[in-house]
Amino acid sequence: MPNRLPERDGEWIDRSQSVRFRFEGKTHEGFAGDVLSSALWANGVRLLGRSFKYHRPRGIYSLAGHDISSMVEDAQRTNLRGDLLPIEPNLDVRAVNTAGSLERDWLRITDHFGRFMPVGFYYKAFHTPRRLFPLYENRIRKIAGLGRVNPKGHLPPSAKDYAFCDFVVVGGGPAGLAGAIAAAEQGLKVLLVEEHPHLGGSLLWQHARDEAAREQLKDLLSRADALENLTIRCGTQVAGWYADHWLALVDAERLTKLRAMCTLVATGCFEQPAVFGNNDLPGVMLSSAARRLIYLYRVRPFERAVVLTGNREGYGVALDLLQAGVHVVAVVDLRANGEMSDLAESVAAAGIEIFKHHAVYEAVASRDKTSVVGAILCPLNEQGGPESIGRVKLSCDGIVMSVGWTPASGIAYQAGLRFEYDERVEQLIPESESDRVFVAGRAAGVFDLESQMEDGRRAGLAAAAACGRFEGDIPERPVHTGPPPSHPYPIMPHPGKKNFVDLDEDLHLADFKNAHQEGFDNIELIKRFTTVGMGPTQGKLSNFNAIRILSRLNGATINETGSTVSRPFHQPVSMAKLSGRRFHPMRHTPLHAQHLALSANMIHAGSWLRPEYYKIDDSSRADCILSEAENVRSGVGVIDLSTLGKLHFCGPDAARFLEQIYTGTFSEQRVGRLRYALGCDEQGIIIEDGVVARLSEHHFYVTATSSGAAGFYRDLQRWALLFEMDVTLVNETGHLAAINLAGPKAREVLRSLSDFALDDDAFPYLAVRQGHVAGAEALLMRIGFVGELGYEIHIPAGTATHVWQKLLEAGRELEIRPFGVEAQRLLRLEKGHLIVGQDTDALTHPYEADLGWAIKAKKPFFIGSRSLQILAARPLARQLVGLALPQSSKVPLPEECHLIIEDGEIAGRITSVAHRTTLGQPIAMAFVTPEMASPGREVTIRVAGGKLLVATVVPMPFYDPENSRQKVAD
Amino acid sequence: MKIIHCPINGPRPLQEFHFGGQVREMPVGSQVSDAEWADYVFNRSGEPGIQREWWYHTASGTWFIAERDCQSDEFIRTYLYGGRESDA
């Protein structure tokens, strides 16, 4: 490790633990605490990756988690950032986006074709002819791209947890620490979240040379440590801020969903690069990166450095470099007057040459173009642009940029704050704070260390006040004094070399000028056309320079130009963090275990699990379903209907209420009788059908469709409020089980188990009776949904298993069998009964479904009545009809939703179909136009593969049109 | 995830609620033209500002009214229909 500096207090590396790892097939050594980039740099490796588009060599740039040109992958994971990835034994990684190897990437040739590929090139060149686009796309993706996903990789699912606090502080620098301490001292439960492995923020690198700052940090840490109500999580990203202080925290192990009451954004700033020729070469880096190398990882960044600056910090960096044993060749200051403070004197006293009102015009590349061998300086003209005369070439292997900052404002934007440009600091600062979202420190344009802590304390007290824990005066935010910490335009045009604005997307200055010339003169447009800020860092190092460029091109101010907001996630979050178990509520009926014991194949039906059919040894699914149905037709079967909505309507207004909800009349319904009930919404669309049983004058029992029951009950509750009626609703859907006993032998089965008369006179079709079945209290409804003699038996859920077993026992000699949802669908289709939501859609009104008979239009009002009045006067657009399908044909039978075609146009669709039926013929229900709806009419169905099948319209029901089966007397 | 104040159950996460649309007066069908009825059925106001909305707390079966600023997505207050107005 030739570039490693001597041990120093506060370093992040653990020199007692040396770590061997592999990069691009070669073994290197570093220390625990190193990230990949720092360990490689310590070993003199400067070529860390290739860029996205031109495959240009790249090295360390920010060392703050934004170096997307040092992305690597291993056998499992991809797009790992070298400046975030801790080294560990067995780490074996290679650079992404290279062909061959990193050093001999043959795609580096694309760099030479750059001038033929201006921004927007892909849109224009590859969009015609369209049929070739997939070919181009494939090629482009291979050349311009990042890591490849390993489809065979397996990452263990990440844990999720929840956390709660009064005050969440994002960022553990001086402002964040001071804010967290101030709020915790007022008794708030505080959570401080720091993305890096250690607390301290800028104190660790920006102020590291200053002995007083080190003491300051120690003091803050010990005060924080003493507060029991202050929790600290380091190595944790705040990935997103969602409504009402709901935050996503991500660390190496888990995703935490945090609920807070107040938020402090003390995230500091992203240092911004300068734009000059070859400003992306390995060896050109931000001053914060150089300082991180020196103070956190103890790596000497270069041998000979040139510092380009536009602020006070650059002089501090020059002194930091000097202390680290770097020969500082020059400090190049963009400002006309240079630096006025004593720092400039210290730099000059150290023998470093200062070039005022100069810029670095170009970084000179080595012969192999993978490193810096010099810097060309140019004097600036009055407008701050480069002069062509008076240029100086200096020999160096590193160029440090210290030209300005932009707030790490992502979380603040997500929390609803907006930023505006302030010329006192030449950066964006928050326009205002909300009463529960605060910004402090450099993110708010406060750069002086004491002021930062004061600002943090102010926010902490404001949060305590918002939580009702502090009543004293809250100080004002300190104001920045002195020259601005950012330079307003650190951007140099350069005709030859690529001067990059966005290193993610390989965009250089000329791309913006071209885009502007093409008319993309608005920040939102230029962003989309150039793709600036759309790369992996989401513009953290490029957006603001793009705004500066555009505002200059437009001759507008920054505030007139505007900035773009930021959405979650603030930093990329791996899919493994987001994936995991889904907690999807699933309802079981009381008979679930019985179904499993009978080898049922269970399927999802809305929120329920229901038996699709019961498996029999070697029989196919279709055979099982058909034989279950045939058994109902010829003998007797049982089906679990516990999923039905089961509602009680009680009270003097119950009948009147039902009449407003449903299309029918119920006032004169006799006690002990059933009626079909059809419910519409205000548009007159069918939303519900069921059966209404009158149990007494003021008591009705109603069943509702399985899938719609929950929503229907919810609507009923609101209508009961709105109608102001004396009616009480009781939802017994979960309390009761229901079993339908159906088939010509149903009465025989029931006879031995019931304590009431079953013959046709005592219990006729469409009657309801209460009594006992197998000793259990039961309510029975005699209805024929499947078209046979049938009793729907409603019993308390706790007795369901007992009754079910007794029914099966009692019917054993009659060969009773359970049947599933599929057999029931077949049986009801044969009977021509529609299923709401299957045979109707969001536009189906009763007249289309031949249910006009169920509408009692003379009633003064029911939900949907006014709409139905309008619809009744209009010609029908479509009608639900029955279709007989050919028995044997070379063309496959249709599936649900296949279209009916007439004269080349869509004329309808299949809503239900059965390929095998107890009738021996395949049948379907379909919507067709009224002209096609008369029986005997042939219709053409477009089936799978685009083939056409001719079917015939037939009257419904297909089975037992006289309804004799369900009314059978004995 | 937003927090909504149910007038019965207090602050609960959005996940426990069902949105029931704008609070609108249903016209008397016999007193309006077809066009006026259709306007009631199909059209909603998209005007920014404070809007009265129906919300339903699913776990407890509570319908209530919320006044929400649909531009800033802030709940101003919630109260039971026709009942005593509570602080949001």
Q: What is the pTM of this model?
A: 0.85
User: Residues A285, A541: contact at Cβ < 8 Å?
Assistant: no
Sequence letter at residue A798: G
Residue B35 pLDDT level (bands cut at 50, 70, 90):
very high
- Residue A397 CA to its chain's centroid (Å): 44
Q: Which of A683, A714, A861 sits opposite B29 (nearest CB)?
A: A861
Whether residue A97 contacts residue A145, with contact meaning beta carbons closer than 8 Å, is answered with yes
Residue A583's pLDDT band (cuts 50, 70, 90): confident
The rounded distance, in Å, linking the Cα atoms of A671 and A768 is 9
Q: How many CB atoms lie within 10 A of CB A316?
A: 25
SS3 A412: helix
Residue A569: is the preceding peptide bond cis (ω within 30°)? yes
Considering only CB atoms, which chain B residues are within 8 Å of A244? 1-3
CA distance A192 to A921: 71
Contacts of A683 in chain B (CB under 8 A): 41-42
Whether A688 contacts A679, CB under 8 Å: yes
The per-residue pLDDT for A115 is: 63
Give A246: exposed, middle or buried? Use CB within 10 Å, 0-12, 13-18, 19+.
middle
Structure confidence by residue, pLDDT tens digits, A643-682: 999 999 999 999 999 999 999 999 999 999 999 999 999 9
* pLDDT surpasses 50 at A520: yes
Cα–Cα distance for residue pair A543/A556, rounded to 1 Å: 17
The three-state secondary structure class of B46 is: coil
The rounded mean pLDDT for chain A is 94
CB A380 within 8 A of CB A357: yes
Q: Average pLDDT for residues A480-488, to the nearest whole number?
A: 95
Q: What is the DSSP letter of A214?
A: H
Phi-psi region of B15 (alpha: psi -120 to 50; beta: other; left: phi over 0): alpha
Question: In Å, how far is A734's CA from the nearest CA of chain B?
Answer: 14
Q: Which of B1, B26, B41 sits opposite A683 (nearest CB)?
A: B41
pLDDT at A695: 98
- Across residues A497-503, what is the average pLDDT? 91
- Domain-embedded: residue B88: no
Residue B86 is assigned to a structural domain of this protein: no
Question: Given this model, what pLDDT does residue B83 score?
Answer: 43
Pick the CATH number of A875-970 from 2.40.30.110, 3.10.350.10, 3.30.565.10, 3.40.630.30: 2.40.30.110
Which value, in Å, is the radius of gyration of the alpha carbons in chain A?
A: 38
CA pair distance A842, A833, nearest whole angstrom: 18
**Which pLDDT band holds residue A560 (cuts at 50, 70, 90)?**
very high
Per-residue DSSP letters for A638-694? EEE-TTSEEEEEESTTHHHHHHHHBSS--TTPPTTBEEEEEEE-TTS-EEEEEEEEE
Encode pLDDT of A853-911 as tens digits: 999 988 989 999 999 999 999 999 999 999 999 987 789 999 999 999 999 999 999 99
Contacts 24+ apart (CB under 8 A), A472-480: A477/A440, A477/A444, A477/A446, A478/A446, A478/A448, A478/A451, A478/A454, A479/A424, A480/A424, A480/A425, A480/A445, A480/A446, A480/A447, A480/A448, A480/A451
Which has the minimum average pLDDT: A100-114, A705-719, A880-894? A100-114
Model confidence band, residue A145 (pLDDT cutoffs 50, 70, 90): low
Q: Where are the beta strands (DSSP E) in A171-309?
A: 190-193, 230-233, 237-242, 246-250, 254-259, 262-265, 269-271, 284-286, 304-309
Q: Give the residue on A whose Cα is nearest the Cα of B59.
A: A714
Does residue B86 have a pLDDT over 50? no
Q: Provide the shortest C-alpha distance from residue A661 to chain B (in Å).
A: 15
Instruction: Please report, as a single letter, which amino acid is at residue A751.
Output: R
Contact B63 A718 (CB under 8 A): yes
Report how far apart, in Å, the C-alpha atoms of B86 and of each of B7, B56, B66 are. Answer: 7, 16, 10
Residue of B nearest to A417 (CA): B72
**pLDDT for res A204:** 95
- C-alpha distance from B47 to closest chain A C-alpha (Å): 21
Residue A241, classed as helix, strand or coil, is: strand
Give the chain A residue whose CA is nearest to the CA of B26.
A682
Q: Is residue B47 in some structural domain?
A: yes
Average the pLDDT over A388-403 and give the result. 96
A164 — contact with chain B (CB < 8 Å)?
Answer: no
**Percent of chain A at pLDDT exceeding 90:** 84
Report the CATH architecture of A160-270+406-466: 3-Layer(bba) Sandwich (3.50)
Give the up-direction half-sphere exposure of residue A40: CA atoms within 13 A in the CB hemisphere: 28
CATH topology of domain A489-575: Arc Repressor Mutant, subunit A (1.10.10)
Q: Alpha helix (H) ranges present in A359-448?
A: 410-414
* Chain A, chain B: beta-carbon pairs less than 8 Å apart: 41
Beta strands A49-50; A26-32: pairing state = unpaired
Task: Determine the Cα–Cα distance for residues A549 and A488; give it in Å rounded to an integer.
Answer: 10
Per-residue pLDDT band for A127 (boundaries 50, 70, 90) equals low
Shortest Cα–Cα distance, A864 to chain B (Å): 10
What average pLDDT does this structure show over A614-640? 96
- Closest-CA distance of chain A to residue B21, Å: 12
Residue-wise DSSP of A533-553: T-STTTTTTTHHHHHHHHHHH
Give residue-wise pLDDT tens across range A432-448.
Answer: 999 999 999 999 999 99
Residues of B in contact with A436 (CB under 8 A): none
pLDDT tens-digit profile of A743-763?
A: 999 999 999 999 999 999 999
Q: Which of A186, A165, A184 is nearest to A257 (CA)?
A: A165
- Kindly indicate whether the ipTM for this predicted assembly is greater than 0.90, answering yes or no: yes
Interface probe, candidates B34, B63, B73, chain A, greatest A C-beta count within 10 A: B63
CATH code (residue B74): 3.30.2270.10
Cβ within 8 Å, pair A870-B37: yes
Identify which of A163, A240, A161, A253 has the alpha carbon closest to the alpha carbon of residue A577.
A253
Amino acid at A726: D
Alpha carbon distance A913, A916 (integer Å): 9
Contact flag B29-A865 (C-beta cutoff 8 Å): yes
**If one looks up domain A1-155 in CATH, what number appears?**
3.10.20.440
Comparing CB atoms, the residue among B3, B58, B63 nearest residue A721 is B63
Q: What is the pLDDT of residues A193-225, one digit of tens each?
A: 999 999 999 999 999 999 999 999 999 999 999
Contacts of B69 in chain A (CB under 8 A): none
- The sign one gets for the Cα dihedral A365, A371, A374, A380 is positive
CA distance B42 to chain A (A): 8
Chain B contact present for A585, CB below 8 A: no
Tokens for A749?
Answer: 């089965």
Q: Within an 8 Å CB–CB cutoff, is residue A393 touching chain B?
A: no
Please give the share of chain A, as a percent, with pLDDT higher than 70. Answer: 97
- Which among B14, B29, B63 has CB closest to A717? B63
CB A659 within 8 A of CB A860: no
With an 8 Å Cβ cutoff, is A869 touching chain B? yes
Q: How far apart are CA A380 and CA A357, in angstroms?
A: 6
Residue from A918, A907, A888 nearest A823 by CA: A918
CB contacts of A722 in chain B (<8 Å) are 81
Contact A683 B54 (CB under 8 A): no
Residue of A nearest to B3 (CA): A244
Q: For residue B54, give the chain A residue with the closest CA.
A: A718
Nearest to A176 by CA among A371, A439, A470, A510: A439
Which two three-digit tokens encode residue A161? 């947890």
* B28 located within any domain: yes
pLDDT at residue number A706? 83
- Token pair, residue A526, equals 């230029």
Chain B residues with beta carbon closer than 8 angstroms to that of A865: 29
Residue A445: the pLDDT is 97
Looking at this protein, which amino acid is placed at residue A966? Q
Domain range for residue B35? 3-79
Q: How far apart are CA A74 and CA A91, in angstroms?
A: 8
CB-CB neighbors (< 8 A) of B26 in chain A: 682
Which of A824, A837, A763 shows the shortest CA–CA distance to A788?
A: A824
- Provide the pLDDT for residue A107: 75
Region of residue A436 (phi > 0: left; psi between -120 and 50: alpha; otherwise: beta): alpha
Whole-number pLDDT of residue A102: 82
E strand or H helix at A37, and its extent?
Answer: helix A36-42
- Verify whether the Cβ–Cβ distance A867 to B37 is below 8 Å: yes
Contacts of A717 in chain B (CB under 8 A): 56, 61, 63
Please give the CATH topology (third level) of the domain spanning A273-403. FAD/NAD(P)-binding domain (3.50.50)
Range(s) within chain A of domains with CATH label 3.50.50.60: 160-270+406-466, 273-403
The beta strand positions in B7-72, using DSSP E, are 10-13, 17-22, 50-57, 62-69
Contacting residues of A for B63, CB less than 8 Å apart:
717-718, 721
pLDDT of residue A285: 98
Hey, what are B17's tokens? Answer: 């609620």
Looking at residue A117, its pLDDT comes to 66
Closest to B69 (Cα-Cα) out of B43, B47, B41, B85: B47
Work out how many domains chain B is built from and give that number: 1
Minimal Cβ distance to B20: which of A718, A861, A865? A718
Shortest distance, CA A683 to any CA of chain B (angstroms):
6
Q: How confident is the model at residue B85 (pLDDT cuts 50, 70, 90)?
A: very low
pLDDT of residue A496: 78
Whether B84 is covered by a domain: the verdict is no
Residue B87 lies in a domain: no
Is B71 domain-assigned?
yes
Output the six-digit token pair for A378.
Answer: 């140019």
Are A711 and A615 a contacting pair, CB within 8 Å? Answer: no
**Inter-chain residue contact A243 with B73, CB threshold 8 Å:** yes
Residue B87: per-residue pLDDT: 38
